[in-house]
Structure 1
């Protein structure tokens, strides 16, 4: 029987409710801390809990927290504040991307780069499997998704080794897979490896493809059956919001509405409403973006209410379920 693994235990997919497909809740990335980039330090449990409460107030029920160990994961704190806020959180096993690996690997006395180089593919897979089956960060909180990532138009040797190890962990545990793409690049290259390893792309969600709004690329990726995480909402520094809507509606026109999910990827204090920086916060997508999308979809001849129910409720139930 399929199930979804949250920080508080396994649930039936039907219990997920309205779901954000990619966010960050509480994390202190070692590399950013060393560099003094305080905007990327989500280090207040109280403020992060307040954000979860905003999400719940807006109608949200479940969040996929895409924070891996190399991005300063702390599942003990996340579990505590999630339960206090009444929000279900899915935690991440695996790794993010090589740009984070000059940071120190917790408990290993070396950098992530050094530790990954010292490990075989099988040993790395054992590490990820243990995060899913035993627990993470010195707790019994288990990961509900296995993750890998690649760089901007690059995929180095260590990232490939991690990718293959994460796929091995997926095969053993049945955990759903999530991938980071830097500015939406390398998705097809990731999928080449996924398919070469005999893994069904429908078990994978690819993040950040909306930062590369290329219709041909999106169509080719979608044809594999993979899920999309549209998670760049409000980043008008890349392009205006209507471009993302066009990308989503193009996928719907091509018959891929069952592969679309939405998240905020809030990873900066200035993006939160509760960190004192005046950001839009975790309620914004449901309160402001969702009605806008419904209106724009209607203007384009689609049933926007039906589509957002798929994006926030129906599709996550399949994307985040362990293989039965």
Structure 2
């Protein structure tokens, strides 16, 4: 039996529909808030909701909200947006990356995890199995004490390195995955350390067909992508619209190269829209509508010029692959 876990219901994977695989909807990361980085605070649910409605207007049906506990989630606000828009939202249990952990834990979490001052202090003090138990509860009972459950588990590592605490959270997330059968997502900083993450997950006996690796387009290396794809993991190209990192031509060619090599069934697409300046209704950015309204038509055109069925590839990247990737398989 396979199903998808949205915040408030388990649904057949066939009902998932057109899906963005990595976004952020409402979040106030303590690390950025404490440093006065207002652009990185998505702190107005009404504005976030308008962008979600734009996504829906163009045919969008589901969003994976990849905001972990250490990135300042507002779970009730995101659930309200889900209810008000009718767009399904998948929540995330687990952790992000170590540099974010030098930030204060919000008071509401302390009854759940203990009276720790920072995320670093908590993760350093807890055992792997204690961290795993926290992640399991967020999948099976609810995120941060709410009744809204996570539909994936997440860990992250830094640029060109994996710190001891990052390895600790990776192993905790792997063990939570074994207990819950939740799909696993990883943050890779600038697309690095994916193969090293994979080796650690193998040491925890994780079936890599449950794994999606984020930010693959930040490391535009076709050979590297092929090595990852050979493991059976999903590659998430989730920087669409971020021209400061690379033009869309680069991303599209990387994707088509994987298709040529036979890996069309392992590609996910999204925008990782985590700044006010990326959102249309916060700061006049491209918004959540950009991929579905503008990037998709361009990709279809370029794919067909290259001899592929563009519509079929879009269906795979946004419908079939997410339905398979984000399914609990029991």
Structure 1 residue 206 and structure 2 residue 213: aligned? yes
What are the superposed Cα offsets for residues 261-315 of structure 1, whole Å, 9 maximum, x if unpaired? 111100000110111x110100110100000000000111111110000000001
Residue 84 of structure 1 corresponds to: 84
Say whether the 8 Å CA contact 1:103–1:111 is kept in structure 2.
yes
Among 317, 322, 326, the residue aligned to 1:316: 322
How far apart in 2 are the matches of 1:78 and 1:239?
Answer: 30
Note the residue ranges of structure 1 that are not aligned, 5 or more in a row: none
- Give me the TM-score of the superposition, normalised by structure 1: 0.98
Q: Give the SS at the match of 2:171.
A: helix
Deviation at 1:103, TM superposition (A): 1.0
Note the residue ranges of structure 2 that are not aligned, 5 or more in a row: none
Among 292, 296, 304, the residue aligned to 1:290: 296
RMSD: 0.8
Among 312, 315, 318, the residue aligned to 1:306: 312
Residue 268 of structure 2 corresponds to: 261
What are the superposed Cα offsets for residues 146-186 of structure 1, whole Å, 9 maximum, x if unpaired? 00000000100000000000000000000000000000000
What are the superposed Cα offsets for residues 128-159 of structure 1, whole Å, 9 maximum, x if unpaired? 00110111122111111000000000100000
Residue 197 of structure 2 corresponds to: 190
What are the superposed Cα offsets for residues 96-124 of structure 1, whole Å, 9 maximum, x if unpaired? 11111011223234101100010001101
Structure 1 residue 133 and structure 2 residue 131: aligned? no
Deviation at 1:241, TM superposition (A): 1.0
What are the within-5 Å matches in structure 2 for residues 55-66 of structure 1?
55-66=55-66
Say whether the 8 Å CA contact 1:222–1:256 is kept in structure 2.
yes
Residue 247 of structure 1 corresponds to: 254
Q: Give the SS at the match of 1:220.
A: helix
How far apart in 2 are the matches of 1:309 and 1:201?
Answer: 23
What are the within-5 Å matches in structure 2 for residues 96-115 of structure 1?
96-106=96-106, 107=110, 108-115=115-122
How far apart in 1 are the matches of 2:19 and 2:58?
Answer: 11
Among 157, 165, 184, the residue aligned to 1:177: 184
How far apart in 1 are the matches of 2:235 and 2:5?
Answer: 20
